[in-house]
Amino acid sequence: MADLKDKVILVTGGTSGIGLACAQLFARSGAKVVAMSIQPDEGKALAEQMTAEGHQCLFHPGDVGCEEDVKAAVRLAVDRFGRLDVAHANAGVLKNQKITDLALEDFHLLINVNLLGAVLVAKHAIPVMRRQGKGVICFTTSVAAEIGFPEHAVYCASKAAVVALMRSLTTDHTPEGIRFVAVSPGTIDTPMLAASCEGWDKPKEELYAAVAQKIPVRRMGQPIDVARAVAFLVSDEADFISGSVVHLEGGTLALPPW
């Protein structure tokens, strides 16, 4: 288990799917967590659950595409806990459509959440970490950054941009003591994935079973699989890792294209 005791960690998109699993694992590992999302009821429930278990977790309602919201979340972490050791830019949305059918509002939503949200987290976390002389920023990208998923052109582009962002930040700021890493999940059993099954002529369970059989490890990923990897990457045990993407896709990327 990665040692996260007393680390102050901000998680965006922290009340659902991968972000929820990360926030829970970090808090249960002794970290002081600030979870940010646009889901107030789920955020309140998370904070209450972690507090009842004897852990430290605050909820901050906010949209990662709004600079003032991100700035306030970073400020909350620093004001309440005195520092910010880790920022996990995890919030994301998924919209699928062919580019010829693209609605501009969907384009702006994907870019504002998936890319601008990551940019804003970095913009406001880096100055805090620079003053400390140490910190880690982790981004949740996707294998969609490397695979041309049908009818996901803008989503794929937004996730590829996050990888490029992470690598550029590494060259600019890792010499200042700040590490940058990314996790690239494949097919993970999350509410966002479940929502993408709506409208198909088969039930979700049947679709999931078919997908699992195509993955070399013969199962879909779970949010905790990603959370464990993030916990290691942001821990001091990983302090020689910066500018790297860790793929969590059960071997999918190793498959031949036939």
Has residue 197 got a pLDDT over 70? no
Q: What is the mean pLDDT of residues 38-58?
A: 98
Q: How many C-beta atoms lie closer than 10 Å to residue 197's C-beta?
A: 14
Per annotation, catalytic residue among 155, 165, 231, 248:
155
- Give tens-digit pLDDT for 230-248: 999 999 999 999 999 999 9
Cα–Cα dist 91/256, whole Å: 31
Tell me the DSSP string of 136-177: EEEEE--GGGTS--TT-HHHHHHHHHHHHHHHHHHHHHGGGT
Has residue 169 got a pLDDT over 90? yes
| Residue 207: pLDDT band with limits 50, 70, 90 | confident
Cα–Cα dist 118/172, whole Å: 16
Closest to 87 (Cα-Cα) out of 173, 177, 180, 171: 180
Token pair 């601008």 is at which residue? 116
User: What is the reported pTM?
Assistant: 0.95
Q: What pLDDT shows up at residue 257?
A: 76
Burial class (CB in 10 A: 0-12, 13-18, 19+), 16: buried
- Helices 117-132 and 153-173, interaxial angle, to 10°? 20
Q: What is the mean pLDDT of residues 107-131?
A: 98
Q: What pLDDT shows up at residue 191?
A: 81
Per DSSP bridges, beta strands 56-61 and 86-89 are unpaired
Burial class (CB in 10 A: 0-12, 13-18, 19+), 102: middle
DSSP classification of residue 239: T
| Residue 116: pLDDT band with limits 50, 70, 90 | very high
Has residue 216 got a pLDDT over 70? yes
Residue-range domains of the chain with CATH: 8-187+222-250 (3.40.50.720)
Cα–Cα dist 32/58, whole Å: 8
Question: Tokens in use for 190?
Answer: 């999350």
Residue 155 falls in the annotated catalytic set: yes
| The dihedral sign for the CA sequence 39, 140, 223, 11 | negative
- pLDDT: is 49 or 210 the higher one? 49
Has residue 203 got a pLDDT over 80? no
